[in-house]
Chains A and B, each alone.
Chain A
Amino acid sequence: MLPAIIVVCALFLYPICSSIFYSFTNKNLIRPTYRFVGFDNYATILTDKSFWNAFLNSLKWTVFSLIGQLLVGFTAALALNRVKHLKGAYKTLLIIPWAFPSIVIAFSWKWILNGVYGILPNLLVQMGFCNEPPQFLTEKTLAFIVLVLINVWFGAPMIMVNVLSALQTVPQDQYEAAEIDGAKKWQSFLYITVPHIKVVMGLLVVLRTVWIFNNFDIIYLITGGGPAGSTQTVPVYAYDMGWGTKLLGQSSAVTVLLFIFMMAVCIGYFAVIGHWEKEDK
């Protein structure tokens, strides 16, 4: 028990407490001294339009990525569930994006999408879709869409594997009984499949929401939050604040706000999932 407590304290409680503590100070990364400033950091951040821009970007990033990952992952799981042969091989192929470190993925996509020598832009020109290589990461909206698509590609396999596992627990005799009763495919899906997997899906949504919202590496490595802050999310904003501008006090305040928001979202999600579980009983 004691080792577990020590690990939890060292890995989680300490950084949390120190972040909360520093959020009330004017701590600068390269200045040895600091003083308490009350809620000044929070006031500064909440009146900074860059923070709200990053927050809005984070919301869009999370919602669109999550919807995309669920759609692609769920569809792939349904398709794979019907495959009779080589299911393991397909599953392995589809999980490949998850096997690579995000730094490899980020640099690979950056390379693929480069507007001068990138494979994809030049392929589109060769195929006659456009006269000049498209600049995927230059225009604000397009850059954001491209990042979301990369995130969908990256995250969908995780949804797929989990949903596939859940699908395989649905008793086959229920489908057979429904078929005998004359139920259509969509009715079997709606009244047998969905109830069996909705709790798993709900939990996946919770985990993925937190994961995607906190995602930093892919965005930072591909666009650095640019152009002009169009892909800057709250974690990138917090990083720039802490390591770019070195205002660790303000950066800590951002993470505390992020924590409060994510806890509120999680509580909401779990209320819904709890309601589903009660319904099932």
Chain B
Amino acid sequence: MKKKLALLLAGVMTLSAFAGCGSDSGKSDGKDPEQVSSINEDGELEGDITFWHSFTQGGRLDTIQAAADKFMDEHPKVNIKIETFSWNDFYTKWTTGLASGNVPDMSTALVGHVVEMINSDALIPLNDLIDEIGRDKFSENALNEGTVDGNNYSIPLYSHAMVMWVRKDLLEQNNLEVPATWDELYEAAKTLTKDGVYGLSFPCGSNDFQATNFLNFYVRSGGGSLLNDDLTANLTSDLAIEGINYWLKVYNDCSPKDSVNYDVLDQATLYYQGKTAFDFNSGFQIGGVEQNSPDLLQYVDCYPIPTIDGSEQKGITTSNQPIVVWKNSKHPDICKEFIKTLYEEENYLDFLASQPVGMLPSVAGIEELDAYKSNETIQQFQHAEEVIASQIPGGTAIGFEHGPNLQAGLLVNQHVIEEMFQDIITNGTDVETAAKAAEEELNTLFEAAVQ
């Protein structure tokens, strides 16, 4: 009996190896759903919609729920079911859900995901919604990130930009200026690497895209790109090789060796705890420091990411967090109506105030409102808010400097660049050899995805 039971268990466990890879798929996912009228005989909105979002932190979660509750109060025949996932789970959820038709009516997304969704014919255009809210209120860059053939498939909810975070107290104690060039940053980081503090951690864990992010900072600041104009990978240009060598130098001289395995949370935690003097992140950095080391909050500030020659930086990596409506939705009208209410002044200000400075408005004019400016954190970090706001218009998501493209999302999500850095650091592989191999690997993957 025991043997039979064990055999059964062993069989089940062995078979379970399949579970992660089984995936249902029709040959086409872009089926037209059975859309029904969302307006009943009494002229009221009626229907159930599901909203997936990734605002897992308390404040944002609550404000979105409050907006949904308010909408349901105003439209008693509407039911909005909110489901929350972390970004990683979200990606798994929608890619598998798309195949089986198990996707929501509306959702948040990452910019790279939106392109993949458009490529899978999974979204509906939101041009009418954007026009209704006011097309001129949104930045052109932000709208372009979800635009294909004149159709706007996403609408930006909030924006942020990557900037350089500094510890003012450490700079002052060491008579250092805020670095404006990469060389100055290296020298400052090297000087500050002492007494249990590291100047700047260089993260290249292979389950995140931090090294891609950092290399992109360097290459974009020099006017280059990690993608060529024909959307092939470019890791072997002089600028890219210079960037790789720069970050290796930082890793060797200014970074904890453990950072070879760091993901974004590991990286940010060091700064939150006062263990690094510099870091690159968005305004969410403030909330992290506030929670982990409130005493350090007064010493935290941000500046534009350095450039190679010290020229003015106008933004590198911007994130305009989009909302999309899925083609599978039976009630796109309800989704659009609900989305519209998220931009109503009261709802929008509440939402932004749940992560002040972390989430900046994607809609023009909000930043001028007293209710927005009077937020305590925004007042305290006025300089940081101004710096981030100044960087948003000039930046794009990684690879989107070439417009929306599938390769940009793959460049970020494949972790090939992280593995390249690990190979160089751990195995001592020659930089140019590793860069060429990574470039070829990326191009092979690009070809497989866009065939």
Contacts A116-B270, A228-B422 hold; do A16 and B14 have CB atoms under 8 A apart?
no
- Residues in chain A within 8 A of chain B (CB atoms): 12, 14-16, 18-19, 22, 26-34, 110, 114-117, 135, 137-140, 143, 199-200, 203, 206-207, 210-211, 214, 216, 220, 223-230, 235, 238-240, 242-248, 251-252, 254-256, 258-259, 262-263, 266, 270, 273-274, 277
Contacts A33-B28, A270-B3 hold; do A227 and B10 have CB atoms under 8 A apart?
no
Cα–Cα distance between A259 and B261 once the two chains are bound (Å): 30
Contacts A235-B17, A259-B15 hold; do A18 and B120 have CB atoms under 8 A apart?
no
Q: Which of B19-27, B222-230, B321-329 participates in binding chain A? A: B19-27
A224 and B205 within 8 A (CB): yes
Chain B positions 1-53 with a Cβ under 8 Å from a chain A Cβ: 2-3, 6-7, 9-25, 27-30
**Chain B residues positioned under 8 Å from A245 (CB to CB):** 414, 445, 448
Min CB gap A9→B, angstroms: 12
Q: How many residues of B contact A (CB 8 A)?
A: 64
30 CB-based A-B contacts, threshold 8 Å: A15-B19, A18-B23, A22-B21, A27-B25, A29-B23, A30-B119, A31-B120, A32-B121, A114-B266, A116-B270, A138-B260, A203-B2, A203-B6, A214-B13, A224-B205, A224-B263, A226-B205, A226-B206, A226-B419, A226-B426, A227-B426, A228-B425, A228-B426, A235-B20, A242-B20, A244-B414, A245-B445, A245-B448, A247-B448, A251-B21
Contacts A210-B14, A235-B17, A277-B3 hold; do A229 and B23 have CB atoms under 8 A apart?
no
B261 and A226 within 8 A (CB): yes
Decide yes or no whether B116 CB sits under 8 A from chain A. yes
Known contacts A224-B261, A226-B205, A266-B10; can you find 15 more A-B pairs with CB under 8 A?
A: A29-B95, A114-B266, A116-B256, A203-B2, A206-B6, A210-B14, A214-B17, A227-B261, A227-B425, A227-B426, A228-B422, A238-B17, A255-B17, A258-B17, A262-B17
- Select A115's contact among B20, B206, B258, beta carbons within 8 Å: B258
B120 and A32 within 8 A (CB): yes
Contacts A27-B25, A248-B23 hold; do A117 and B273 have CB atoms under 8 A apart?
yes
Decide yes or no whether B207 CB sits under 8 A from chain A. yes
- Residues in chain B within 8 A of chain A (CB atoms): 2-3, 6-7, 9-25, 27-30, 91-92, 95, 116, 119-121, 198, 205-208, 256-258, 260-261, 263, 266, 269-270, 273, 275, 406, 410, 413-415, 418-419, 422-423, 425-427, 445, 448-449, 451
